[in-house]
Amino acid sequence: MTETTMTNTSPPARPEGLQGIAADWASDQRAFKNVSWGKAMMWIFLLSDTFIFGCFLLSYMTARMSTRVPWPNPSEVFALHMFGRDIPLILIAIMTFVLISSSGTMALAVNYGYRRDRRKTVILMLLTAALGATFVGMQAFEWTKLISEGVRPWGNPWGAAQFGSTFFMITGFHGTHVTIGVIFLVIVARKVWRGDYDTGARGFFTSRRGNYESVEVMGLYWHFVDLVWVFIFAFFYLW
Amino acid sequence: MVDVTPGSVEAIPPAEVPEVELYHPHSWWTTYVFSQDAKVIAIQYSCTAIAIGMVALVLSWLMRLQLGFPGTFDFITPEAYYQFITMHGMIMVIYLLTALFLGGFGNYLIPLMVGARDMVFPYVNMLSYWIYLLAVLVLVASFFAPGGPTGAGWTLYPPQAIMQGTPGGQQAGIILMLVSLILFIIGFTMGGLNYVVTVLQGRTRGMTLMRMPLTVWGIFTATVMALLAFPALFVACVMMLFDRLLGTSFFMPAIVEMGEQLQHAGGSPILFQHLFWFFGHPEVYIVALPAFGIVSDLISTHARKNIFGYRMMVWAIVGIGALSFIVWAHHMYVSGMHPYFGFFFATTTLIIAIPTAIKVYNWVLTLWRGDIHLTIPMLFALAFIVTFVNGGLTGLFLGNVVVDVPLSDTMFVVAHFHMVMGVAPILVIFGAIYHWYPKITGRMLNEALGQFHFWATFLGAYLIFFPMHYLGLMGVPRRYNELGDMGLISDSAHHLNAFISVMAFIVGFAQLVFLFNLIWSIRHGREAGGNPWRATSLEWQTPETPPAHGNFGKELPIVYRWAYDYNVPGASQDFLPQNDPGDYAGAKGH
């Protein structure tokens, strides 16, 4: 069956206003006209993941608000002793700066990817991965420090036991996301370096041909992980 | 001319997405086992779900043995009874119904019905099944673990779920249960992303959203809901796992167990209930919405009449999906809540009755003066409407705080949810299997066996669950392994329990007949041809039956109309397939 069977070839007038929006949205083939399958899938996954982090953070807030035991003071707990005095939140400030910077390098990598500048793309992606790995490393340092001071999932020297449990659970879950991101950044960077997206080489598992949009989809995930960190930072360290 | 589908395209626009390359299997293993074809994955999902569902069926028999004839069977200890009840509930709700509707019917029908070659990411789709299988195996493993599976009830409420008195609470049972659920959610997410993106971005030319069969709308909306509701269960499982393994106190308050003060302090059991039911209530509709969609198509096809109020049907599905996220605390009226919350959640709960009633009226109005063929799928569809109305009405009882409180934790609740989300969706599953089996295998299921199966199941299920309302009103509590000599419970309750148990066995055996029919008809069923029901939607228009890899031969179909053009005045036959370009009076608006 081909198009020639259609007699009415002139497109009908599009409805205006809200009806036009609805008509576009409900039109055939694709609801989002300029969005590829991979990008749509990543967005929907991130929406689902938002609910996971949302549930974690809401549970944390419930625990913190309902406990009758005092909550440890974040300014003191997360302070580092440097230059002869305690500086509150200094490590977290640096970690946050590193992670937010990595979003910048990621955005640049996406741009250079679409310009087919493989060299710069790879450098920027690896830089992003390095910043992400630095973040995870500093998180490991933070965990080590807290553990050596006696913080455990089931208790800590300063107050509510839920402090340790929510802290390790939420930062751990976020750190896992960052680690997975670093691994996939390296994988995608390797593909860019080999020119897989120029030659249309098939993926090892999926046997689909990739293209430079993979860099952007990777970037979506990375920015999401950064954004989640902003919320964790605000709710956990600044509250 | 009735303009049913606004915004429909009159001129078919050119293809926006170039043809995708499918992964072509090279061996038996990649064709039938590690297949990336959504249809094979669908069959794998369905067979696994039915297999584990049979386990749950046997568990329900064991429960009924105990309830009907207490004290007769020594091997059903109180602990074992709780384990049966827990695993029966969990398996039926998650591993059977969710997996079969979304993983089974979703995988098979979505690509065929929207005119796609396959799901958008077949490899991820394949992983989805294998992780689901792993989740099922972990679940089954808990039967063989020391201490047996968990006996915490399917809601797994802490603190009891992870304490000594509960079977599996301090052994492996609860751990395996939680791990299995986490795996299921990961696996489901992989599949669910595929279903959603395929519906949104992978449709064929001319297939607008408002031309999709309601089956696709139901499965699509349910999948979106599942992607947003399962995270809450995921988080709850992770946190309970930590409570059990690491000694954290997310859900565990300061508590004394066997005369000893536990290390836990300060956790909130109510928090778990909120997380669980934020998943648990949408879950009801995750199971119900695909059933709504499928039953709409069955009724329209077998009554040879267009579905009444298509647009309202779509909006009702979407509305129910959205509303179901703000009603969860009606499961917690007796948990202790601010009275205003009870007021709010009772109101939202009752509001859901509106879109649901719209759907029921529309089904009935579709039947009104239709050319009703009492085929087996149609019988099941009609049975569904009756059962669903029945279960829905008792839902109105339980949605009201003042009526719910005395009825909480009685058999009335058991009767309600078995009617509305047990029997009703399963009737649709049966109807759907009888309807689509000819497409999947190329042969019809045996009619006589089907008649027997239908009447035994429908009447039997009523005889099982209808008396339970009475038991509940009498005050018979649920989750008690025997009633003993409670003064408030009259003798009739005991007789009724024995009667229900006998009926449960009969209905269970009818399902074995159905299984036999499924297997026997693969070889011996009547040849079906490509479109035995003379249906309009795209899956019946494939060049081969069963559809080959890639579904539609060389060229994807072009869609010119909605899926409900039955008995159109002036048309040459009593149905017009969606890819039929023929013009007729009134065709344009569709």
pLDDT in tens, B152-206: 999 999 999 999 989 999 999 999 999 999 999 999 999 999 999 999 999 999 9
For residue A129, what are the domain limits? Answer: 35-66+80-238
Distances B54 to B330, B515, B561 between C-alpha atoms, Å: 31, 10, 41
Determine whether the interchain pair A63/B271 forms a contact, defined as Cβ–Cβ distance below 8 Å.
yes
What are residue B443's phi and psi, to 5 degrees? Answer: -130, 150
The whole-angstrom distance between A123's CA and the closest CA on chain B is 29
Mind listing the pLDDT tens digit for each residue in A41-100? 999 999 999 999 999 999 999 999 988 899 998 888 888 888 888 888 889 999 999 999
Determine whether the interchain pair B250/A165 forms a contact, defined as Cβ–Cβ distance below 8 Å.
yes
Determine whether the interchain pair A154/B9 forms a contact, defined as Cβ–Cβ distance below 8 Å.
no
Residues of chain B with pLDDT under 70: 1-11, 583-590
Q: Does B202 touch chain A (CB under 8 A)?
A: yes
The whole-angstrom distance between A54's CA and the closest CA on chain B is 9
The 10 Å Cβ neighbour count of residue B294 is 30
Determine whether the interchain pair A30/B263 forms a contact, defined as Cβ–Cβ distance below 8 Å.
no
The CATH number linked to A217 is 1.20.120.80
At residue A1, the pLDDT reads 36
Q: Which two three-digit tokens encode residue B110?
A: 């979505």
Q: Does B206 touch chain A (CB under 8 A)?
A: yes
- How many structural domains is chain A composed of? 1
Looking at chain B, which residue has its C-alpha nearest residue A56?
Answer: B235
The whole-angstrom distance between B569's CA and the closest CA on chain A is 21
The whole-angstrom distance between A63's CA and the closest CA on chain B is 7
Element (H, E) at A87: strand A85-87
Looking at chain A, which residue has its C-alpha nearest residue B589?
Answer: A12
Domain locations in chain B as residue ranges:
41-252+267-541
Q: Does B248 touch chain A (CB under 8 A)?
A: yes
A30 inside domain: no
Chain B residues close to A22, C-beta within 8 Å: 6-7
DSSP 3-state of B71:
coil
DSSP per position, B281-322: HHHHHHHHHHHHHHHHHHHHHHTTSPPTTHHHHHHHHHHHHH
Q: Which two three-digit tokens encode residue B481?
A: 């392994």
What's the start-to-end Cα distance of chain B, in Å?
10
Looking at chain B, which residue has its C-alpha nearest residue A44?
Answer: B193
At residue A202, the pLDDT reads 84
Q: Which of A46, A48, A66 to mutate to test the interface with B (most CBs of B within 10 A)?
A: A48
Nearest alpha-carbon partner for B215 in B544, B525, B578: B578
The whole-angstrom distance between A187's CA and the closest CA on chain B is 18
DSSP per position, B482-548: --TT-TTS-HHHHHHHHHHHHHHHHHHHHHHHHHHHHHHHHHHSPB--S-TT---SGGGG-SSSS--
- B576/B535 Cα distance (integer angstroms): 8
Which residues numbered 130-189 in B keep a CB inside 8 Å of some CB on A?
A: 189
DSSP 3-state of B460:
helix
Q: Which two three-digit tokens encode residue B371?
A: 């050319």
Looking at chain B, which residue has its C-alpha nearest residue A45?
Answer: B193
ipTM, interface predicted TM-score of the complex: 0.93
The whole-angstrom distance between A20's CA and the closest CA on chain B is 8
- B217/B293 Cα distance (integer angstroms): 7
Find the angle CA(B38)-CA(B543)-CA(B528) to the nearest 5 degrees. Answer: 90
At residue B23, the pLDDT reads 81
The whole-angstrom distance between A177's CA and the closest CA on chain B is 14
Across the A:B interface, residue pairs with CB atoms under 8 Å apart total 182
Q: Does B424 touch chain A (CB under 8 A)?
A: no
Determine whether the interchain pair B7/A9 forms a contact, defined as Cβ–Cβ distance below 8 Å.
no
Chain B residues close to A31, C-beta within 8 Å: 200-201, 209
Q: Which two three-digit tokens encode residue B54?
A: 């049979």
Chain B residues close to A6, C-beta within 8 Å: 11-12, 581
Which amino acid is it at A210?
G
Q: Does B7 touch chain A (CB under 8 A)?
A: yes
At residue A13, the pLDDT reads 66
- B295/B301 Cα distance (integer angstroms): 10
Determine whether the interchain pair A37/B201 forms a contact, defined as Cβ–Cβ distance below 8 Å.
yes
Q: Does B451 touch chain A (CB under 8 A)?
A: no
The 10 Å Cβ neighbour count of residue B131 is 19
- B216/B297 Cα distance (integer angstroms): 10
Determine whether the interchain pair A51/B232 forms a contact, defined as Cβ–Cβ distance below 8 Å.
yes
The whole-angstrom distance between A128's CA and the closest CA on chain B is 26
Helices (H) and strands (E) in chain B, counts: 17, 2
Determine whether the interchain pair B7/A22 forms a contact, defined as Cβ–Cβ distance below 8 Å.
yes
Name, in order, each residue with C-beta under 8 angstroms of B104's C-beta and a sequence gap of 6 or more: B42, B43, B45, B46, B49
A115 inside domain: yes
Chain B residues close to A72, C-beta within 8 Å: none
What's the start-to-end Cα distance of chain A, in Å?
64
- A91/A141 Cα distance (integer angstroms): 9
Nearest alpha-carbon partner for B307 in B355, B358, B376, B351: B358
A71 inside domain: no
A20 inside domain: no
Q: Does B275 touch chain A (CB under 8 A)?
A: yes
- A49/A200 Cα distance (integer angstroms): 30
CA-based Rg of chain B, rounded to a whole angstrom?
Answer: 24
Q: B41-252+267-541: what fold?
A: Cytochrome C Oxidase; Chain A (1.20.210)
Contact B537, B113 (CB under 8 A): yes
Looking at chain A, which residue has its C-alpha nearest residue B193?
Answer: A41
What are residue A15's phi and psi, to 5 degrees? Answer: -65, 155
At residue A15, the pLDDT reads 79
Q: Which of B23, B196, B205 sits opposite A28 (nearest CB)?
A: B205
Determine whether the interchain pair B16/A30 forms a contact, defined as Cβ–Cβ distance below 8 Å.
yes
Q: Does B197 touch chain A (CB under 8 A)?
A: yes
Chain B residues close to A32, C-beta within 8 Å: 200-201
Determine whether the interchain pair B197/A44 forms a contact, defined as Cβ–Cβ distance below 8 Å.
yes
Q: Which residues of B83-111 are buried (b: 16+ CB within 10 A; e: fewer)?
A: bbbbbbbbbbbbbbbbbbbbbbbbbbbbb
The whole-angstrom distance between B444's CA and the closest CA on chain A is 29
Determine whether the interchain pair A169/B232 forms a contact, defined as Cβ–Cβ distance below 8 Å.
no
The whole-angstrom distance between B192's CA and the closest CA on chain A is 9
The CA dihedral of B189, B194, B199, B200, to the nearest 10 degrees, is 90
Looking at chain B, which residue has its C-alpha nearest residue A55?
Answer: B232
**Would you place residue A210 in the very low, low, confident or very high pLDDT band (cuts 50, 70, 90)?**
confident
Looking at chain B, which residue has its C-alpha nearest residue A14?
Answer: B7
The CA dihedral of B284, B290, B295, B298, to the nearest 10 degrees, is -160
The CA dihedral of B538, B590, B366, B318, to the nearest 10 degrees, is 80
